[in-house]
């Protein structure tokens, strides 16, 4: 009762009043007659403790214990139990404790550990550490409940006090007394009281109580307390962390855990930043394998890291406020603390994925399931880096795979990466090894779509991280450059150049690393060498020279060494390097804000001049080296801004030297002996008195070479015609730079005549000597190259007269090319003079020229084997277009006497045309080449392109676009480099980015569309005049061929432009819309406000209108491909697919003839037909019906037609194209059945019926195609049938048989019919295997073992199906005899009683009596064989040798 009376005073916060009472001195006599009740209880409390071994001390001194705490507890319990007042003595003891701890200091002593008593000298029985007095009393069961109540009543007195003077937090210490008790007498009541306290306590005490619950409560209480904590969590987010910590340590059932996790997920958005790591850790560590994906997906959606990190501007302003000592800023989260919180969140994710495989798989799946670019977050990239950083190989590979897929599809782009590096640089620093490894992997990828993203990762890593990471980035990029893989080297060099431009001072520290690439230049292309020296010279000789000056001497040493080399390859490297150093040293200096040029220091100018003189002295005896030097100087002056003094130094003697070396005055006669009679040709000036001294120069050069070969002469400067074009290019660039684009001083060279020979010599070429023929071929090459370089120079002139002269020069080129084709035909083994001097060394060309002339294929760019007269244009290079080949092929009958060869293999020997030349395409088109011969009339004339010139320009444009816009996968260089660099002839083009080229093409689109419409109108007019046929009597064959080639090239150019992968990048969307807008506006539509889908629709409609005037199947294919490309850019794909399929079918159902009225044929035609037919079957809605239409209608029509005729419904199907049709039909049929959905047991009847019907149609198509082998039994047809027959059979076993398993009972007759049809096909395949063995053709017998295995599997799979459906009695096996294609037994097998190679055949049937079934089966087989044999007899009469 006493305790109850005192409880209100203890519950109030007025403990100070109780302590003010006068305390009785403990030194008075203990046996006072009338002591107070409190004093008596307290004395009882003290006596019992003292007898048990604990001495209570005054404030400031810890209580002492003389015995071990276990001994103390036993003694005290025994004393209480033996007391005569037991059990009342327990209440007195408790009351004494309450009285004792009324004093805060004494209460503090009881909470602190007791100290061993050492005064008696016997401390061996006491351990060094003892619990507090209250803790020891809680361990006594009879006292526990009373003391717990006392402590919980005492707790509110100190709730708001915080830590005392000694740093002791009383509430925290009280709660600690309850932890880890050996036994709790009433755990349920304790839990209830603790939760009551939580409801009223301040936040700090709440956190202490909740965090301690797992150590206080028994396991039986865990689920109940979890529910209470869950409800508390939803009410108060301030105590989220301790609640989650407690829940993590509780032993909970899965249902409660799921409920709690759901509640936590709901409050995730309201959780404070510093609490997020604990929340995320709890969520991830509480998932099971079954719900991992759903939990991770929800967590990913709700976790917004972007809101956790302040933008850079706010970070800066916040740090400024803090630096001023603002009091309010102390509570705001700093940038560093937010970064730390994000780091802790990621650490939580990392620990989860490291120790639970299901979590890592769930993260990958969650990221992979995002199918919109804007839905991707910074968190996705960070998690991928985390997954890659774990040691599990599967996790690494998965992260790499997902990143590549997302980058390739455009869902993760550079903007997201940039944001991640900008806001989370400190966090990402910890994952730098993974970032570096992923960047390396992406940069090495053969997929060109992902390579740039790897480059962005490198660039941002260098920018955002510390010097160690920068060194690693540079080292890795240098490794990429030294790998020798083309795309990898280009991207790495581009990145290094970009870093030098953006971060010159940082990159200068690592110049030594970059310099190491100089040891690996053997594997670099000329363009890569240019970039390398540009990079190094920028570091060493740039405007901040002092930082990279330590590699200047090394650079000079390398350049001098290379220039002095006698090996052309190394001299070429030296020239390129020296010119790039001149570009860096002599670059124009801009002065600060005024952007005014600052004159170059005299010392630097002296170094530049000395280096130029060094190069000049090293090239005097080598025309090839001199030509390269002129070209490199031209490129330098075009691509960079040099100091005016350097420009003047280069250009001061160019004009004079050119006139002295290459221009001659025209006199009454030319003295000297020449292989051919000199003649002045191609004069456009009329009264010019100078000419390009080409023929005499060439003759002198040949003579000089002969003298040098015959005797050793001192090296001196040689004037060779090799230098004519490069020197003129340098002259033109110098004039352009010095006179701000004005070429008036040299415009006379455009119409200047050349000293050549009369081209009548072509009539008697065969009678000329080999030396004369080769001399003429060389002269033609030089002349064509001169005209090409002249067009490069003057193509941008605006005056009509200049435009007319440029057009005339284009006509000169096309005419001279026809002469050259004839000259080369009678000059086998001829090696042309080099025109592009930065390619493979001329030694390689000379060596390959000795090859036999019967080889027509090009060995490599710059290394060729020439074709004799009989070889047509099909002997092309990797850049061979069908157009040129067809042109040559179609022109040959007209020139039956004058054979000619294609110039395709000779393209690297022509000078490169600049992109600006394509501006000429903006002129109109003449259907006949009729230019006015009067060039000086005052009336403004319209400059028009002829068909030959149009084709010439379009061929060049198409090659350029194929090279620059078509991304080829990076391939590792083979050990034996048999082919030369494919970039030969594209040096100028390589220095422009694909984006620039695509933009330039879009500007030309209106002109291209005009030409396209002109070609369309030309053929429309021609067909209307000839009553709808192309081979009318008035048709000009040559013009028809040229217009046809131009039409096809225009379609190819448009397709290549629109197929550029860069259009998929977000920054190029406007350029794509502009390109499509050009096409759309041709339909008189306003394209300004149209969406992309509308633009695609109108562009598609515009192009479809061209379908009626296709001159050839190749052109029709190009139009179909162009339409397919346009349809992929947006809009309704289903509608576009239908129209594309319809158009392809229209082209396949059209008879294609040449201008001479002959049916188109040949390899090129077959290749185009193959592609078009495949496109039709890929775009058609129902492939199986389309295959049946051709196989069951078109081919029987062909069989009934005469030998040279075609199918009536498919005119492109004839006996020469049957193999093309057969191969495509078999391939697409096999591809189509692989797309049939797999059967499921859960499928309803309707779904089963639909799949069964689909398989029935597929098997019927297959049966028809296999049976065609009996008529068309040529080896290629058999090969196709064996190959795709096995693939069809394997797909049927994998996808079709499970469907039959499930459908057999419901649709027994349908399944039986399907198997019977398929059995006939398998029997035919069996006969083909035997036929292949008879022929002993390895190309056929290679397919036999795998096919036989599949046939055997089929037999046993059918048996398994019948057994599954309890119909095994409906199955019997009989041995098939080996037969040939005609069904005749193979005689060598008859004598053997058993043959291991014989296949087995099955006969599924309805469960009838055995005798009846066998009879029916025999009758069925007999009827089938009769039908098949009858068909064979009928078809044998019309069998084709194919």
pLDDT band at 1117 (very low <50, low <70, confident <90, very high): very high
Q: What is the pLDDT of residues 114-153, one digit of tens each?
A: 888 765 555 455 566 788 888 888 888 888 888 888 888 8
pLDDT band at 25 (very low <50, low <70, confident <90, very high): very low
Interacting residues of 528 by C-beta distance below 8 A, sequence separation 6+: 481, 489, 490, 493
Q: Give the span between the Cα atoms of 1247 and 1241, in whole angstroms.
A: 11
- Nearest Cα to 387, choosing from 416, 351, 419? 351
Give mean pLDDT, residues 493-511: 89
Q: What is the pLDDT of residues 366-376, one digit of tens each?
A: 898 888 888 88
Per-residue pLDDT at 167 exceeds 60 = yes
Identify the residue with better confidence: 162 or 477: 477
Do 442 and 964 contact (CB within 8 A), yes or no?
no
Query: Which of 1-5, 428-432, 1353-1357 is most confident?
Result: 428-432
Mean pLDDT value across the chain: 78
Interacting residues of 124 by C-beta distance below 8 A, sequence separation 6+: none
Structure-derived torsion over alpha carbons of residues 540, 542, 545, 550, reported in degrees to the nearest 10: 0
Per-residue pLDDT at 423 exceeds 80 = yes
pLDDT band at 1301 (very low <50, low <70, confident <90, very high): confident
Q: What is the pLDDT of residues 1011-1044, one digit of tens each?
A: 999 999 988 888 887 776 665 565 678 888 899 9
Q: What is the CA radius of gyration of the chain?
A: 46
Per-residue pLDDT at 1087 exceeds 80 = no
- Is residue 1347 helix, strand or coil? helix
In DSSP notation, 897-939 reads SS----SGGGGGGSPPPPGGGGGGGGSEE-SS----S--S-SS
**What is the per-residue pLDDT for 1237?**
82
Give mean pLDDT, residues 473-502: 89
Helices marked H in 67-169? 69-82, 88-100, 104-111, 133-138, 141-154
Query: Which of 73-82, 196-205, 537-546 is most confident?
Result: 73-82
- Nearest Cα to 239, choosing from 272, 217, 197? 272
**What is the per-residue pLDDT for 1046?**
93
Q: Give the span between the Cα atoms of 343 and 363, in whole angstroms.
A: 18
**What is the per-residue pLDDT for 605?**
87
- Nearest Cα to 247, choosing from 262, 233, 231, 226? 226
Beta-bridge partner residues of 1374: 1401
Q: What is the pLDDT of residues 293-319, one digit of tens each?
A: 888 888 888 888 766 654 444 444 444
- Nearest Cα to 513, choosing from 479, 562, 555, 546? 479
CB atoms within 10 A of CB 135: 21
Do 286 and 261 contact (CB within 8 A), yes or no?
yes
- Nearest Cα to 1230, choosing from 1119, 1312, 1350, 1332? 1350
Identify the residue with better confidence: 865 or 1085: 1085
**What is the per-residue pLDDT for 39?**
54
**What is the per-residue pLDDT for 462?**
93
Per-residue pLDDT at 415 exceeds 90 = no
The CA-based diameter of the chain, rounded to the nearest angstrom, is 160
Give mean pLDDT, residues 45-51: 86
**What is the per-residue pLDDT for 974?**
45
Interacting residues of 1405 by C-beta distance below 8 A, sequence separation 6+: 1312, 1370, 1413, 1416, 1417
Do 699 and 677 contact (CB within 8 A), yes or no?
no
Give mean pLDDT, residues 323-336: 44
Identify the residue with better confidence: 731 or 885: 731
Per-residue pLDDT at 871 exceeds 60 = no
Cα 1297 to chain centroid distance, Å, stands at 38
Residue 60, by phi and psi: left (phi above 0), alpha (psi -120 to 50) or beta?
Answer: left
Identify the residue with better confidence: 1292 or 1335: 1292
Interacting residues of 12 by C-beta distance below 8 A, sequence separation 6+: none
Q: What is the pLDDT of residues 386-401, one digit of tens each?
A: 889 887 777 888 899 9
Q: Give the span between the Cα atoms of 197 and 610, in whole angstroms.
A: 91
**What is the per-residue pLDDT for 68?**
87
pLDDT band at 8 (very low <50, low <70, confident <90, very high): very low
DSSP state, residue 1141: H
Do 853 and 871 contact (CB within 8 A), yes or no?
no
Choice among 272-286, 417-431, 1104-1118 with the minimum mean pLDDT: 272-286
User: Is there a cis peptide before residue 31, judged by omega within 30 degrees of 0?
Assistant: no
**What is the per-residue pLDDT for 1331?**
82
pLDDT band at 476 (very low <50, low <70, confident <90, very high): very high
Q: What is the pLDDT of residues 228-251, one digit of tens each?
A: 887 787 777 677 778 877 877 887
**What is the per-residue pLDDT for 596?**
55
Identify the residue with better confidence: 1403 or 1427: 1403
Q: What is the pLDDT of residues 830-840, one digit of tens each?
A: 999 998 887 75
Q: Give the span between the Cα atoms of 693 and 680, in whole angstroms.
A: 10
Identify the residue with better confidence: 14 or 479: 479
Q: Is 424 exposed, middle or buried (0-12, 13-18, 19+ CB in 10 A)?
A: buried
Q: Give the span between the Cα atoms of 536 and 88, in whole angstroms.
A: 97
Rounded to 10 deg, the angle between the 724-738 and 644-651 helix axes is 140
Q: Give the span between the Cα atoms of 1045 and 948, in whole angstroms.
A: 9
**What is the per-residue pLDDT for 1124?**
92
Per-residue pLDDT at 178 exceeds 70 = yes
Query: Which of 10-24, 59-73, 1408-1422 is most confident?
Result: 59-73
Q: List for the chain the helix, strand, coil content (%; round to 5).
A: 65, 5, 30
- Is residue 975 helix, strand or coil? coil
Q: Is 21 exposed, middle or buried (0-12, 13-18, 19+ CB in 10 A)?
A: exposed
- Nearest Cα to 576, choosing from 591, 562, 564? 562
Count how many Cα atoms sit within 13 Å of the Cα of residue 332 in the half-sphere of its side chain: 17
How far lies 177's CA from each of 165, 222, 1333, in Å? Answer: 21, 20, 93
**What is the per-residue pLDDT for 591?**
52
**What is the per-residue pLDDT for 968?**
55
Per-residue pLDDT at 22 exceeds 50 = no
Give mean pLDDT, residues 549-560: 85
Per-residue pLDDT at 102 exceeds 70 = yes
Per-residue pLDDT at 545 exceeds 60 = no
**What is the per-residue pLDDT for 1176?**
92
Per-residue pLDDT at 956 exceeds 90 = yes
**What is the per-residue pLDDT for 763?**
80
pLDDT band at 1387 (very low <50, low <70, confident <90, very high): low
pLDDT band at 1390 (very low <50, low <70, confident <90, very high): very low
Per-residue pLDDT at 330 exceeds 60 = no
How far lies 1044's CA from each of 132, 159, 895, 1171, in Å? Answer: 104, 96, 19, 19
Give mean pLDDT, residues 722-747: 88
- Is residue 1340 helix, strand or coil? helix
Beta-bridge partner residues of 116: 65
Per-residue pLDDT at 1429 exceeds 80 = no
**What is the per-residue pLDDT for 120?**
53
Give mean pLDDT, residues 417-444: 90
Give mean pLDDT, residues 1066-1087: 81
Q: Give the span between the Cα atoms of 696 and 678, in whole angstroms.
A: 8
């Amino acid at each position: 009762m006493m305790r109850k009376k005192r409880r209100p005073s203890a519950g109030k916060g007025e403990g100070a009043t109780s302590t003010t009472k006068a305390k009785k001195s403990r030194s008075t006599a203990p046996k006072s007659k009338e002591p107070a009740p409190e004093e008596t209880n307290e004395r009882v409390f003290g006596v019992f403790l003292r007898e048990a071994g604990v001495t209570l001390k005054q404030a400031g001194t810890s209580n002492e214990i003389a015995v071990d705490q276990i001994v103390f507890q036993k003694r005290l319990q025994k004393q209480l139990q033996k007391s005569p007042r037991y059990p009342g003595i327990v209440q007195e003891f408790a009351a004494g404790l309450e009285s004792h701890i009324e004093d805060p200091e004494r209460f503090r002593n009881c909470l602190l550990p007791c100290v061993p008593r050492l005064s008696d000298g016997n401390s061996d029985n006491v351990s060094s550490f003892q619990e507090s007095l209250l803790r020891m009393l809680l361990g006594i069961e009879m006292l526990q409940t009373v003391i717990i109540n006392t402590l919980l009543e005492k707790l509110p007195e100190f709730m708001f006090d915080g830590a005392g003077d000694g740093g002791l937090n009383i509430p925290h210490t009280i709660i600690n007394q309850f932890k880890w008790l050996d036994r709790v007498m009433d755990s349920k009541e304790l839990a209830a009281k603790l939760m009551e306290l939580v409801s009223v306590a301040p936040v700090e005490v709440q956190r202490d109580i909740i965090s301690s619950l797992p150590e206080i409560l028994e396991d039986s209480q865990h689920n109940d307390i979890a529910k209470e904590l869950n409800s508390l969590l939803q009410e108060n987010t301030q105590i989220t962390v301790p609640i989650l910590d407690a829940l993590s340590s509780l032993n909970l059932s899965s249902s409660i855990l799921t409920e709690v996790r759901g509640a936590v997920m709901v409050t995730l958005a309201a959780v404070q930043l510093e609490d997020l790591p604990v929340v995320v850790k709890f969520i991830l560590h509480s998932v099971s394998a079954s719900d991992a994906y759903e939990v991770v997906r929800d967590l990913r959606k709700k976790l917004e890291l972007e809101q956790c990190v302040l933008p850079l501007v706010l970070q800066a302003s916040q740090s400024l406020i803090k630096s001023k000592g603002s009091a309010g800023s102390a509570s705001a989260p700093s940038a560093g603390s937010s970064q730390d919180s994000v780091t802790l969140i990621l650490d939580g994710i990392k620990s989860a994925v490291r120790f639970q495989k299901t979590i890592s798989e769930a993260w990958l799946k969650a990221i992979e399931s995002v199918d919109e670019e804007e839905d991707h977050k910074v968190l996705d990239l960070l998690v991928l880096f985390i997954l890659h950083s774990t040691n599990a190989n599967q996790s690494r590979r998965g992260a790499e795979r997902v990143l590549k897929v997302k980058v390739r599809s455009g869902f993760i782009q550079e903007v997201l990466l940039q944001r991640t590096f900008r806001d989370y640089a400190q966090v990402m620093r910890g994952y730098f090894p993974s970032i570096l490894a992923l960047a390396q992997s992406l940069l090495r990828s053969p997929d060109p779509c992902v390579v740039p993203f790897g480059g962005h990762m490198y660039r941002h890593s260098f920018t955002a991280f510390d010097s160690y990471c920068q060194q690693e980035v540079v080292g890795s990029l240098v490794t990429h450059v030294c790998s020798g893989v083309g795309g990898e080297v280009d991207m790495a060099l581009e990145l290094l150049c970009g870093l030098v431009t953006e971060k010159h001072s940082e990159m200068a520290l690592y110049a030594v690393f970059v310099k190491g690439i100089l040891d690996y230049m053997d594997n670099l292309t000329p363009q890569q060498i240019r970039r390398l020296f540009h990079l190094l010279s920028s570091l060493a000789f740039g405007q901040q020279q002092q930082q990279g000056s330590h590699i200047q001497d090394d650079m000079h040493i390398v350049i001098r060494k290379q220039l002095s080399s006698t090996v052309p390859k190394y001299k070429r490297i030296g020239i390129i390097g020296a010119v790039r150093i001149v570009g860096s040293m002599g670059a124009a200096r801009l002065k600060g804000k005024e952007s005014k040029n600052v004159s170059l220091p005299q010392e630097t100018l002296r170094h530049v001049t000395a280096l130029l003189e060094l190069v000049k002295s090293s090239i005097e005896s080598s025309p090839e080296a001199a030509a390269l030097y002129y070209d490199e100087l031209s490129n330098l002056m075009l691509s960079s801004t040099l100091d005016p003094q350097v420009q003047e130094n280069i250009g001061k003697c160019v004009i004079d030297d050119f006139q002295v070396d290459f221009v001659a005055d025209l006199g009454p006669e030319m003295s000297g002996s020449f292989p051919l009679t000199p003649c002045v040709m191609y004069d456009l000036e009329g009264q010019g008195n100078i000419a390009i001294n080409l023929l005499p120069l060439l003759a002198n050069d040949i003579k000089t070479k002969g003298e040098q070969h015959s005797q050793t002469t001192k090296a001196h400067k040689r004037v060779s015609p090799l230098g004519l074009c490069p020197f003129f290019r340098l002259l033109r660039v110098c004039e352009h730079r010095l006179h701000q684009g004005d070429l008036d001083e040299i415009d006379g060279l455009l119409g200047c005549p050349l000293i050549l020979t009369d081209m009548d010599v072509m009539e008697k070429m065969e009678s000329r000597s080999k030396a004369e023929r080769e001399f003429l071929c060389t002269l033609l090459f030089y002349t064509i190259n001169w005209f090409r370089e002249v067009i490069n120079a003057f193509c941008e002139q605006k005056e009509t007269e200049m435009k007319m002269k440029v057009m005339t020069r284009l006509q000169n080129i096309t005419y001279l090319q026809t002469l050259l084709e004839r000259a080369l035909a009678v000059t086998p083994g001829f090696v042309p003079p080099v025109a592009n001097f930065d390619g493979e060394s001329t030694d390689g060309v000379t060596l390959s020229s000795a090859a036999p002339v019967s080889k027509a294929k090009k060995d490599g760019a710059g290394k060729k084997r020439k074709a004799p007269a009989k070889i047509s244009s099909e002997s092309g290079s990797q850049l061979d277009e069908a157009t040129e080949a067809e042109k040559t092929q179609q022109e040959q009958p007209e020139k039956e006497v004058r054979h000619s060869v294609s110039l395709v293999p000779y393209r690297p020997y022509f000078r490169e045309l600049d992109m600006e030349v394509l501006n000429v395409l903006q002129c109109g088109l003449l259907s006949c080449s009729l230019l006015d011969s009067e060039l000086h009339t005052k009336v403004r004339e319209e400059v028009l392109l002829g068909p030959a010139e149009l084709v010439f320009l379009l061929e060049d444009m198409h090659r350029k676009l194929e090279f620059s816009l078509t991304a080829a996968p990076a391939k590792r260089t083979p050990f034996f480099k048999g082919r030369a660099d494919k970039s030969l002839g594209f040096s100028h083009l390589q220095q422009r980015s694909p984006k620039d080229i695509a933009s330039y093409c879009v500007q030309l689109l209106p002109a291209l569309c005009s030409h396209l419409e002109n070609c369309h109108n030309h053929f429309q007019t021609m067909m209307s005049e000839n009553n709808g046929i192309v081979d009318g009597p008035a048709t000009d064959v040559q013009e028809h061929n040229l217009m046809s080639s131009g039409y096809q090239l225009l379609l190819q150019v448009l397709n290549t432009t629109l197929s550029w992968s860069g259009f998929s990048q977000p920054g190029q969307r406007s350029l794509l819309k502009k390109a499509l807008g050009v096409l759309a506006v041709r339909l008189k539509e306003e394209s300004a406000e149209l969406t992309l889908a509308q633009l695609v629709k109108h562009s598609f409609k515009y192009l479809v209108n061209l379908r009626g005037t296709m001159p050839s199947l190749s052109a029709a294919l190009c139009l179909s491909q162009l339409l397919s490309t346009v349809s992929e850019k947006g809009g309704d794909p289903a509608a576009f697919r239908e129209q594309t399929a319809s158009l392809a079918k229209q082209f396949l159902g059209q008879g294609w003839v040449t201008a001479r009225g002959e049916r188109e044929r040949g390899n090129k035609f077959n290749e185009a037909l193959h592609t078009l037919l495949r496109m039709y079957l890929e775009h058609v809605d129902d492939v199986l019906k389309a295959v049946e239409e051709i196989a069951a209608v078109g081919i029987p029509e062909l069989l009934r037609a005469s030998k040279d005729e075609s199918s009536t419904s498919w005119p492109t199907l004839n006996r020469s194209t049957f193999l093309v049709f057969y191969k495509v039909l078999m391939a697409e049929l096999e591809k189509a059945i692989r797309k049939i959905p797999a059967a499921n047991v859960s499928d309803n009847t309707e779904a089963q019926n639909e799949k069964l019907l689909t398989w029935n149609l597929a098997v019927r198509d297959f049966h028809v195609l296999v049976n065609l082998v009996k008529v068309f039994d040529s080896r290629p047809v058999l090969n196709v049938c064996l190959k795709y027959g096995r693939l069809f059979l394997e797909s049927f076993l994998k996808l079709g048989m499970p469907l039959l398993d499930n459908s057999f009972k419901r649709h027994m007759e349908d399944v039986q019919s399907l198997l019977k049809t398929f059995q006939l096909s398998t029997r035919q395949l069996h006969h083909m295997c035997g036929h292949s063995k008879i022929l002993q053709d390895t190309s056929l017998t290679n397919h036999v073992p795998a096919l036989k295995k599949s046939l055997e599997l089929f037999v046993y799979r059918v048996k398994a199906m019948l057994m599954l459906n309890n119909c095994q009695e409906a199955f019997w096996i009989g041995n098939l005899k080996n037969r040939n294609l005609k069904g005749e037994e193979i005689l060598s097998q008859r004598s053997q009683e058993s043959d291991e190679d014989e296949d087995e055949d099955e006969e599924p049937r309805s469960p009838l009596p055995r005798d009846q079934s066998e009879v029916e089966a025999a009758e069925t087989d007999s009827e089938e064989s009769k039908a098949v044999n009858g068909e064979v007899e009928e078809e044998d009469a019309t069998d084709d040798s194919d």
